[in-house]
A = this chain, B = another copy of it.
Amino acid sequence: MTRWVYAFGGEKTAGGAEMNALLGGKGANLAEMARLGLPVPPGFTITTEVCTRFYEDGECYPAGLEEQVEAALAVVEAAVDRQFGGEDEPLLLSVRSGARVSMPGMMDTVLNLGLNDRTVEALAVSAGDRRFAFDSYRRFVQMFADVALGVDRGLFEEEIEHLKDRKGVDADADLNAEDWRALTTRFKEIVLTETGVPFPDEPHAQLWEAIGAVMRSWQTPRARTYRRLHDIPEVWGTAVNVQAMVFGNMGEDCATGVAFTRNPSTGENALYGEYLVNAQGEDVVAGIRTPQSLTVADAQARGSQQSPMERAMPEAFARLMEMRAQLECHFRDMQDIEFTVETGRLWMLQTRSGKRTAQAALQIAVDMVEEGTIGPEEAVMRIEPQALEQLLHPTLDPDAERDVIARGLPASPGAASGRIVFTADAAEQAAAADEAVILVRSETSPEDIHGMHAARGILTSRGGMTSHAAVVARGMGRACVSGAGAVRIDAESGVMLAGGRCFTTADRITIDGGTGEVMAGEIATIQPEVTGGFAQLMEWADEARLLRVRANAETPRDAEAARAFGAEGIGLCRTEHMFFDADRILAMREMILADDETGRRTALAKLLPMQRRDFVALFRIMDGLPVTIRLLDPPLHEFLPRTEEETAEVAAAAGVDAVKLRRRALRLEEENPMLGHRGCRLGVTWPEIYEMQARAIFEAAAETGAEPEVMVPLVATGSELEYIKAIIDRTAASVVEETSTALAYSIGTMIELPRAALRAAEIAPAAAFFSFGTNDLTQTAFGISRDDASSFLGAYRDGGILANDPFETLDIDGVGELVRLAAERGRAARPDLKLGICGEHGGDPASVVFCHDIGLDYVSCSPYRVPIARLAAAQAAISLGKGKKQDQAPPAP
């Protein structure tokens, strides 16, 4: 006979923490505490297998369950020496759901089960408190009707309010035993009206009904949605925990409370929590009375006049402190505890790993290593990489109220508040006056860069995660929300419409670049506090990981930030960003709009010394670390003037007719610039551009002794790369000859087109390295333009068609197969091929795991995500093992 029921807390305990899958989280930990000898009210757990069978068999219980439940119940009765449904000292039960992982979508708890018109009288006698008994009774009917029978909770609250009105009193405390009795009767009438079935009076019927309700709560729409969103398999099922009641509300020597074994907000190693005297658990949640501090220290810190538990119940408190130490030592993690004191005696009702802020997680993990509780690798595994963003960027005060007026893409993390400005110049003026502003634009362009730098944050109504605004903001570490389509901007009139309201430059707004929310008004932000623990944890992470982590950076500022965050090189230096400065864009435009090669070369000659200076600066900062420089990638029309005025300026500089120039500019416009004349296609048609860039790189390398990695973008065929490689090699040879300096450099390519991934074997012979540009690879594999996707991706998420935004988390099934194939085929053709990734996914923890798994050498991401990538890489190495690379030399950076 299969065992369906596991007892705990009585004479013997059958389960334990290791049986989490079978008993659910709550049940397994109750058993574990009982095993440890902690005071757990006796009870039993019906396994998750029963739930699974229940659904397989058309909502029938498996054979033998009833007998096993009755037997387990008898054990509980014996342990507490009370009888379920007994008219003497009745045993009351709590019934709780409990899946393998905590699931808010499911039934929570029914307390005081077993009460009816007869047992309530017995309870009144045995407790010596009639009001307590009838209060317990009405609570039971109310909870049972709500969570097990689905009757609207509001109907009961209304009745209570009616009665208080009739009696002219304000508080529940003003109602007496008779009031509660009458209300209970009324509640049962409501249940009959609402469900058409009388409220079950027989305790066993109540129990089975509650068990069934827990089973069925596994399939509520809310639970299903939660499972879908969190990838929880349907077959897991939920367990049911049935446990003898203990009462925190039987008098002044009773209490109920919750505690964290350490401070979940700061990580401080001190008991943290609250308790309420003479109350049941739900009272803490309901917030009718203000809970009191547990410790004297906390009470003092809060300035509370009320007696902390440490004072009011010194014995129970001492016991609690003992158990805190015991639980932490046993579970080797900070615990979140529920407890009840019944007539002076402490009972443990739950323990589980406590949720915590990023800062606390970090502090606790580091402290526990120092205390010897866990090892460094375990500490590394304890921190959610994504959570580091909280440590590195200002975050919104979680308690502050948010008046959300629009949502966009979380383009660059951090929260920022400020007055609205619509132009870069206005932002700069405000910054000069030390005023915080948010730059609001339909989209940004190179001319806005000074304003983006001056602003606290950037909000755009158009463009995606890889738009100009997003990329530049991430590089600068500025908060940015992009593509907030519902925001209408009329910059000329100085008006922004959002959420049906009108905002002007007189108004302040707040943006959260981590969530994409846009809020009216100023909201308090919390500045990040990077402690020594952070550096310690990162050191442990670096020891564990195999993947190297580089940064995407082009300016000296970016490069310095990258080094500060621990980047081991630059994986992507986008040279086009170097042409956006005001003094350069003119020469760039002159080049683009030149009549012929001679004209282009004249303009390029102006850019050469600037590019060379850029690279010299970059090489000096990176000081021997590898630097991968991508040659010009975007279509040239991105650099073109948009206004007549700017066109005239370029025309004057180039000495040509403005109208003619305008026409030439129009000719460069494209239907689909993403798939247009860009990347190495520019190098094929206008080799002089790549020649200038290669020359600037090599002259800077000759000056500094750097060993640059030159990267060719948007390659689709092997012959394309060979063609461009010849141009670069030729230029290098010229520089070697002119400077009489030997150069060490390598040439590689982005793999960002499906064809390039498939034909990796044909491309690898000409490439010393592949860098996967997973942004463009995702765009082309899915056929989705990131900039335009906002108009339909919402419907895809709502319809459950796409679980994740493939631009945030790498689509391992599709895009990932291309990456994997390219890595395999490339390495087969060229065993020393270096492999990295430099798309936005390089900073996404799940994607980093994938990169480790397929054996890439490095990931590269924006500077502020470098710590996240370092941590994710360490976790991947620890959990997936380092086997893949053990027989290799240490990876090249």
Which residues does A use to contact B, with CB under 8 Å? 485, 667, 670-677, 679, 681, 684-685, 714, 716-717, 719-720, 723, 752-755, 758-759, 762, 776, 779-785, 787-788, 791-792, 795-796, 799-802, 811, 813-815, 817-818
Contacts and interface: CB of A to CB of B under 8 A. Distances in A.
A785 B723 contact: no
A787 B717 contact: no
Contact of A780 (B752, B780, B801): B780
A801 B763 CA distance: 13
A130 B186 CA distance: 141
A759 B799 contact: no
Q: Which of A667, A671, A676 lies at the interface centre, i.e. has the most chain B CB atoms within 10 A of its CB?
A: A671
B753 A788 contact: no
Contact of A792 (B685, B779, B799): B685
A414 to B, nearest CB: 26
Q: Specify how many copies of this chain sit in the oligomer.
A: 2
Contacts of A673: 671-672, 788
A753 B817 CA distance: 14
A779 B676 CA distance: 10
B818 A758 contact: yes
Contact of A814 (B752, B755, B779, B813): B755
Contact of A674 (B675, B714, B792, B795): B675
Contacts of A716: 782-784, 814
Contact of A755 (B671, B672, B811): B811
Contacts of A776: 783
Contacts of A811: 755
24 contacts: A485-B667, A672-B673, A672-B674, A672-B788, A673-B788, A675-B783, A675-B785, A676-B785, A676-B791, A677-B792, A681-B792, A681-B796, A684-B792, A717-B801, A717-B814, A719-B800, A719-B801, A720-B796, A752-B783, A754-B783, A758-B781, A759-B813, A759-B814, A776-B783
A680 B705 CA distance: 54
Contacts of A671: 673-674, 785, 787-788
A782 B672 CA distance: 13
A799 B687 CA distance: 12
B755 A717 contact: no
A782 B753 CA distance: 6
Given A676-B785, A716-B782, A759-B813, A795 B754 contact: no
Contacts of A672: 672-675, 785, 787-788
Contacts of A681: 792, 796
A672 B464 CA distance: 12
A776 B755 CA distance: 13
List 7 tightest A-B contacts by C-beta distance, closest first.
A675-B785, A672-B785, A755-B814, A754-B754, A676-B788, A753-B783, A671-B787
A637 to B, nearest CB: 11
A194 to B, nearest CB: 34
Contacts of A779: 675
Given A783-B714, A802-B717, A758 B814 contact: yes
B674 A801 contact: no
Given A782-B753, A788-B670, A799 B758 contact: no
Given A719-B800, A753-B783, A754-B783, 4 more contacts: A672-B785, A675-B784, A754-B754, A755-B814
Contacts of A720: 796, 801
A138 to B, nearest CB: 47
Contacts of A787: 670-672
A491 B720 CA distance: 39
Nearest to A752: B783
A755 B755 CA distance: 12
Nearest to A754: B754
Nearest to A801: B719
A684 B799 contact: yes
Contacts of A815: 755
A794 to B, nearest CB: 9
Contacts of A677: 788, 791-792
A779 B684 CA distance: 19
Contacts of A788: 670-673, 675-677
A226 to B, nearest CB: 19
A672 B782 CA distance: 13
A813 B796 CA distance: 33
A161 B780 CA distance: 65
Nearest to A719: B801
A753 B783 CA distance: 6
A813 B754 CA distance: 12
Contacts of A676: 785, 788, 791
Given A672-B787, A758-B817, A684 B780 contact: no
A102 B761 CA distance: 34
Contact of A818 (B675, B754, B762): B754
A791 B676 CA distance: 9
Nearest to A757: B754
A762 B755 CA distance: 21
Nearest to A821: B758
Contact of A684 (B670, B753, B785, B796): B796
Contacts of A679: 783
Contacts of A814: 716-717, 754-755, 758-759
A759 B754 CA distance: 14
A815 B754 CA distance: 9
A685 B790 CA distance: 11
A376 to B, nearest CB: 40
A671 to B, nearest CB: 4
A452 to B, nearest CB: 20
A720 B780 CA distance: 17
A275 B72 CA distance: 116
A795 B754 CA distance: 22
A791 B673 CA distance: 12
A780 B776 CA distance: 10
B791 A685 contact: yes
Nearest to A461: B667
A447 to B, nearest CB: 19
A383 to B, nearest CB: 32
Q: Which of A759, A792, A813 lies at the interface centre, i.e. has the most chain B CB atoms within 10 A of its CB?
A: A792
A439 B853 CA distance: 58
A767 to B, nearest CB: 16
A760 B796 CA distance: 20
Contacts of A754: 754, 780-781, 783, 814, 818
A615 B484 CA distance: 41
Nearest to A815: B755
Contacts of A670: 785, 787-788
A762 to B, nearest CB: 8
Contacts of A719: 800-802
